[in-house]
Structure 1
Amino acid sequence: MKRVICIILITVIQSSFAQSNYTKDTSYTIASSFRKDKLKFPYIQIAKVKKDKRVIVENEIVYKEINSRRLHLDAFYKKSKQQHPAVVLVHGGGWKSGDKSQMGSIASAMAAKGYSCFAIEYRLSPEAIYPAAVQDIKEAIQYIRKNAKQYNVDTSRVAILGCSSGGQLAALIGTTNSTPSSTVQAIIDIDGILAFKHPESEEGKAASLWLGGEYETLPEIWKEASALTHVNEKTPPTLYINSDMPRFHAGRDDMIAKLNQHAIYNELKTIPNAPHSFWFYDSWFNTTVDYSIQFLKKVFNK
């Protein structure tokens, strides 16, 4: 317990200083993933989304301020008298890299289909360790709900979608619904782990950096940060879209078993013979978007 308190205190101290001078990690980008993945999948191309003129895009909206540090989100939505389901999008990058622009293509494509979409910036491990990112994303959801009218959001239908470490975060946000203002009604986890300490998990340095230490030192934190720990009868319907690499869905089958015990609707879609970051590429981008929309139509009765 003392270690848990220590981790939380460290996070608070980091937040109070709002480390604007931290070194940003740029190791995970669409371009770097493409260069690496093209070696094994030479036919792939980065997905290009045709712009829909009806979709309004507002970039760099400040949703949270921590002293001199501002956190932003990008909004993609259609002006309409009708309220639309919202989708909060969380980028990947091993909790230490990546940025919200990586979710722009999915947000654009889903907004064109009638969803109000929000790509979220959140603090990464070089700036602030767990649970800072969780707090940031929950506050982004609160901001979206507070400003629902402006973005034509139906607050009874809010989904969270994340890719890779963003998928892990999306599942954790959805399974820790406790405050109505940050509650979500659906989870879409795209190749994100559900448990940090698991036979299928290969998380090491990146997880340790984000969680503030290795499992042997902080087992309570590693468990607390795992969505699998929190699944109960109130967990929302969940869609898993996975590559066929077991390390990226550690704990998934255990979570599905728990969801089934509580009669909670869930779907599993597997993308075979694909790289981990498959959603970036033409070969699988549309499939990822289609699976997501089909799932949301079912659970939101849209």
Structure 2
Amino acid sequence: MPSVLRTLYACLALFLSSVTLFLSAWIVVPAPTLALLPLGVATPELSPWLIGFNAIACLLASLGMRRSWLQRLAVLLGLVGLGLSMLPLLQLPLASQRNNDELQANFGASYEQVSQQLDRQAAQSTKGDLERPRSQPFILQQVFTGIPASPVRYDPNIPFAKPDGVQLSIDIYRPPQVGRYPALVVIYGGAWRGGSPLANAVFSRYMAARGYTVFAIDYRHAPQHPFPAQLEDVRTALAFVREHATEYEADGDRMALLGRSAGGHLAMLAAYQSDALPIRAVVSYYGPFNLTAGYADPPEPDPIDVRAALRAFLGGTPTEKPALYRQASPATYVSRLLPPTLLVHGRRDHLVEVKFAQGMYQRLRSVGSPVALLELPWAEHSFDEVFQGLGSQVTLYYVERFLAWALR
């Protein structure tokens, strides 16, 4: 190969290795800005793809009998990227086992029986009217092919309220067969300032295909509508679900709330304050717990400016509105036996740090409330936006079993 071509080839190899290393670095480097946060979220979840890209970069860089220093540098960068991209897969088996032990220890023999029943259903060779549950916490192939979608019945934009002239609606997902199913109310995130019921629609379809009537609800947004507008809207939506349960084939006596981020916060508030509605379980994906503590101790780096989000939500600082911050914090209501709670959190979360989830977990345990905390060592905030990713697959497996235990 002529020297000019060898140099061009080496430069190309170095470029490819640099790109794959840059992407792999976000598995361990926290995103400093909102614009870079998607890299911090997606790269750990799609790390098997990066393993392949880094391996290809190393292979291309190592080709040739006479390797230049550029090629040797490209090989080195590729190997570093390969090592970084392997970290989530190396962490996954121990994390999955730890989470399995956590649920069995905290929810007892009845949970273990339900889990074993779902495992038997997953192993069946024929399908019934409903899709079988996941057979294992993680399936490598699905990172590349996606989690198979199943047909469900979908009713979008069902209006349920119009407070302050803001039209609020519900998207409803039902199993393909007519029946009567547990109700799962899903609340989206967005720092209380944005979002829609369309968020995480693939998850809602997934759960409907496995035997739930899923209600993806809307609420008003800050700062135009500060707290408690959001909680009022969630309560109005729950009353609508209760009133129309029969119409939408839902069992109003078997209802669970599930939310992400701000939605997880609202799910906990609604579940912990409600004695009138039979909330049987609550699932919070990386939701805030103690807003006063979160304001006093923001993450570093802080890609969304947590303090600004809280000021917009509550109309001031904890010093200015201490009572409102207490009223808006789920931790405030942990003084009695509460519905079973599943907390889902990434240890690399730089919006709501995992230490707050650990504190909430201990607080719930101290009053005897059934609770488990699923921790994912590699995961950032909103990790399950990548539906086929490592974290989403693992949590789907355990959320399925938790809800089946709590509702069936």
1:146 maps onto 2:146 in alignment: no
CA distance in 2, matches of 1:128, 1:139: 16
* Amino acid paired to 1:290: Y
Deviation at residue 72 of structure 1 after TM alignment:
0.6
Corresponding residue number in structure 1 for 2:339: 236
Give 3-state SS (helix, strand or coil) of 1:273's partner.
coil
Corresponding residue number in structure 2 for 1:194: 289
Preserved CA contact (<8 Å) 1:79 1:151: no
RMSD, matched Cα: 2.6
Larger radius of gyration: 2
CA distance in 2, matches of 1:60, 1:288: 28
Corresponding residue number in structure 2 for 1:87: 184
Give 3-state SS (helix, strand or coil) of 2:284's partner.
strand
Preserved CA contact (<8 Å) 2:342 2:371: yes
Q: Flag structure 2 segments of 5+ consecutive residues without an equivalent.
A: 1-34, 50-142, 299-305
Corresponding residue number in structure 1 for 2:399: 292
Give 3-state SS (helix, strand or coil) of 2:270's partner.
helix
Give 3-state SS (helix, strand or coil) of 1:220's partner.
helix
**TM superposition score normalised by structure 2:** 0.60
Preserved CA contact (<8 Å) 1:228 1:254: no
Preserved CA contact (<8 Å) 2:283 2:343: yes
Deviation at residue 126 of structure 1 after TM alignment:
3.4
Corresponding residue number in structure 1 for 2:120: none
CA distance in 1, matches of 2:188, 2:353: 15
Aligned with residue 365 of structure 2, among 250, 260, 273: 260
1:215 maps onto 2:350 in alignment: no
* Amino acid paired to 1:257: Q
1:273 maps onto 2:381 in alignment: no
CA distance in 2, matches of 1:67, 1:104: 27
Q: Flag structure 1 segments of 5+ consecutive residues without an equivalent.
A: 1-30
* Amino acid paired to 1:271: L
1:158 maps onto 2:263 in alignment: no
Deviation at residue 101 of structure 1 after TM alignment:
1.1
Preserved CA contact (<8 Å) 2:44 2:378: no
* Amino acid paired to 1:137: V
Deviation at residue 279 of structure 1 after TM alignment:
0.7
Matching of residues 126-137 of structure 1 within 5 Å: 126-137=223-234
- Quick check: which one's helix share is greater? 2
Give 3-state SS (helix, strand or coil) of 1:162's partner.
strand
Deviation at residue 286 of structure 1 after TM alignment:
2.3
CA distance in 2, matches of 1:236, 1:118: 19
**TM superposition score normalised by structure 1:** 0.80
CA distance in 2, matches of 1:162, 1:47: 26
CA distance in 2, matches of 1:273, 1:139: 37
Deviation at residue 47 of structure 1 after TM alignment:
9.4
CA distance in 2, matches of 1:214, 1:194: 16
CA distance in 2, matches of 1:145, 1:299: 18
* Amino acid paired to 1:270: E
Preserved CA contact (<8 Å) 1:87 1:161: yes
Preserved CA contact (<8 Å) 1:168 1:227: yes
Change (3 A) 1:104 1:32: farther
Change (3 A) 1:35 1:59: farther
Corresponding residue number in structure 2 for 1:60: 157
Per-residue CA shift, 1:106-151, capped at 9, x if unaligned?
Answer: 1111111101111111111033010000000111111011111122
* Amino acid paired to 2:327: E
Aligned with residue 204 of structure 1, among 300, 304, 307: 307
Change (3 A) 1:212 1:258: same
CA distance in 2, matches of 1:270, 1:105: 22
